[in-house]
Structure formats: structure tokens, C-alpha cells
Amino acid sequence: MREAPIGVFDSGVGGLSVLAEIQRLLPNESLLYVADCGNVPYGEKTPEFIRQRCSVMARFFQQQGAKALVLACNTATVAGVADLRRDYPEWPIVGMEPAVKPAAAATRSGVVGVLATTGTLQSAKFAALLDRFATDVRVITQPCPGLVELIENGDLHSPALRQLLARYVEPLLGAGCDTIILGCTHYPFLKPLLRQMIPDDISLIDTGAAVARQLQRLLAERELLAVEPARDARFWTSADPVHFKDVLPVLWNSPGIVQSFDM
């Protein structure tokens, strides 16, 4: 069971940023990744639809013999992680949430910005995070329609992307934010571009590394950490496998074999 793989999924390619953090921290672990690109972005879907997709992913990874499940998507976590933990109580399941707590601790100006999907920002879970950890800071939220779709195409640098990102970042800078939360797993891929747009003393915070640490903790508790060297990561997509394969070298550390996911 130690050498069983870990299943990771996202609405698209964004979860590859989390997958990279898991591989960095746990290099012996074999990884399975499903990109539900046929339904991206989840942020514009109903909670009922997202819960159904989460259930499909869980069944698939169970069939693949996965020893743990990672929801590498803030929106999927908001909608579906509670149901999955109820349905699979013995399975280590790790979700995502915007890094409100570390951002509130890090800010010096007392103003924190959040770049996220509309679905995440409108969720009760996000509101609860603000109530719990951000009572002493001012939080400026910025929905970012269109960013996910550009990143899905491997676009990290185009003038269109730069213009869109600047439009979303400018209100945060104008409000005096000195800490910006990247509240979608797609957004860490934009860090190099963001660094060109914002002052050096503004912190960018995402949760990929924290998710990897939580996964490590849960596997260690259950004596499930792999000992043998990892097998190559395996990839599936619910959209065009050729497109995903073309984008993979841009967003992942190597090319890979991509299979069609038709569940």
C-alpha cells in the first residue's frame, strides 16, 4: 500500500502547480493527475455539478488504487470535499483553501488582496475563513474571469494576458494591499508576470506547499509514505489529450503521456 499512487485532480491544468509541490516534497510518491478540462472553469459551474464531478474523480482514483486524494482546486474543495470525506472516511483526502490565515499574519499594512474565481469568492467557506482569520485586516477581493481560460492554453506571457492581469491587480495596489493571495491553483503560474507588475515588497501567497505538507502528514500518520522510487506521473484529461500534451511541457517539468478521461 505504501507504493500505491496518489490521485490529484483539478478543473484543468492549474492543479499542476500543486502537483509540482507534492513532487518536490515527496519525490518517492507516484502521482496520477486528472485535468477535467472539458468542464473548466469550475468557478462558473453550480455546486451540484461540481459535487458530481468530485464523486466521479473519487471513483476513478479508487479504481486506480490510489492511497490518497488531493483536490487541487479551491472551487472543488468548497463544493465537494465534505461529501467526499463523508463517503470515503478511511481515505486521506486533502483539499485547498485560500491562504487567508498566513496572509493576515504576513500583512504589515493591514490590507490583503485576493485574486480568485467568482465561485471561490462567493462561497460560504471563503466567508467563514474571513470571519475566522481576517477580523483585524481589510480584505479586498478581486474575481478574475478569463485568467483560467488563458492559462489553460499555456498562455503565461501574451499582451492580452498581461492587460487582463493588470486590470485585476491595479485595484488591489490602489487599496494599499501589501499581501496578495493567489486563490486559484492556476494563478501560481503567473507569479513571474505578477512580479513585473507589483513592487518587490508585496508578498504573493498560495497554498500549494501547505497542501503538500498536509498530505505528507496524513500519509505519515497512516504509515503510507512511499519508500521505493516513484514511477513517472500519469495524466488524463476530459478534453483533447493532444492539447493537454502540448501545454504540459510549459506548466510541468517534463512532457508526459496523456490519456483521455471519459467518465
Looking at residue 92, its pLDDT comes to 98
Of the residues 205, 229, 247, the one at which a domain ends: 205
Question: Considering only 64-78, 98-112, 244-258, which range has the smallest mean pLDDT?
Answer: 244-258
Task: Please determine, for residue 20, whether its predicted confidence score (pLDDT) is greater than 80.
Answer: yes
Does a structural domain hold residue 241?
yes
Do 74 and 136 fall into the same domain? Answer: no
Do 159 and 199 fall into the same domain? Answer: yes
Looking at residue 58, its pLDDT comes to 98
Looking at residue 208, its pLDDT comes to 95
Does a structural domain hold residue 68?
yes
Task: Please determine, for residue 121, whether its predicted confidence score (pLDDT) is greater than 80.
Answer: yes
Number of domains in the chain: 2
Do 195 and 219 fall into the same domain? Answer: no
Q: What is the C-alpha to C-alpha distance for residues 235 and 32, in angstroms, rounded to an integer?
A: 6
Calculate what percentage of the chain has a pLDDT beyond 90: 85
Looking at residue 44, its pLDDT comes to 79
Do 78 and 115 fall into the same domain? Answer: no
Do 108 and 74 fall into the same domain? Answer: no
Does a structural domain hold residue 220?
yes
Q: What is the C-alpha to C-alpha distance for residues 41 and 51, in angstroms, rounded to an integer?
A: 14
Do 20 and 65 fall into the same domain? Answer: yes
Q: Which residue has the cell 467557506?
A: 125
The cell for 192 is 513571474
CA dihedral angle for residue 215, residue 217, residue 220, residue 224, rounded to 10 degrees:
-10
Are the beta carbons of 68 and 224 closer than 8 angstroms?
Answer: yes
Do 196 and 105 fall into the same domain? Answer: yes
Do 86 and 27 fall into the same domain? Answer: yes
**12 CB-near residues (< 8 Å, 6+ apart):** 35, 36, 37, 40, 41, 148, 151, 152, 186
Predicted model pTM? 0.93
Do 86 and 124 fall into the same domain? Answer: no
The CATH number of the domain where 29 resides is what? Answer: 3.40.50.1860
Does a structural domain hold residue 1?
no
Do 108 and 73 fall into the same domain? Answer: no
Task: Please determine, for residue 131, whether its predicted confidence score (pLDDT) is greater than 80.
Answer: yes
Residues with active-site annotation: 73, 184
* Residues of the domain holding 255: 6-96+208-260
Average pLDDT of the residues of the chain: 94
Does a structural domain hold residue 240?
yes
Segment 191-211, tens digit of pLDDT: 999 999 999 999 999 999 999
Sign of the CA dihedral running 35, 39, 44, 47: negative
Are the beta carbons of 12 and 36 closer than 8 angstroms?
Answer: yes
Segment 33-83, tens digit of pLDDT: 999 999 988 877 899 999 999 999 999 999 999 999 999 998 899 899 999
